[in-house]
Amino acid sequence: MKKVFRLENLDCANCAQKMENGIKKLEGVQDCTVSFMSQKMTLTADDGSFDEIVKKAVKLCRKIEPDCVIVLK
């Protein structure tokens, strides 16, 4: 499954790169791109565990950039 999420309050390109690299290491993730310029994250992951992977990605992003919010709607 592939889905694009809008990001709010992503303040630096370096943090976006750290998020992208960290999410790519999560089990079940096939690909992830975090764009600082467009404030979007594109996540491609296993269908069966997609929701769980998104939860882990949100937690990881908060750890790297506490003010950043991944809009899940």
Task: Give residue for tokens 């991944």.
Answer: 70
Locate 44 and state its tokens. 């491609």
The CA-atom distances, in angstroms, between 8 and each of 15, 30, 53, 56 are 13, 24, 19, 18
CATH number at residue 15: 3.30.70.100
| pTM higher than 0.95 | no
Given a contact cutoff of 8 angstroms between Cβ atoms, the answer to whether 8 and 68 are in contact is yes
Give the chain's radius of gyration (CA, Å): 11
pLDDT above 90 for 73: no
Considering its fold, how many domains does the chain have in total?
1
Note down the domain range covering 57: 2-71
Could you report the per-residue pLDDT of 3-43, keeping only the tens digit for each?
Answer: 999 999 999 999 999 999 999 999 999 999 999 999 999 99
The SS3 of residue 22 is: helix
End-to-end alpha-carbon separation of the chain, Å? 16
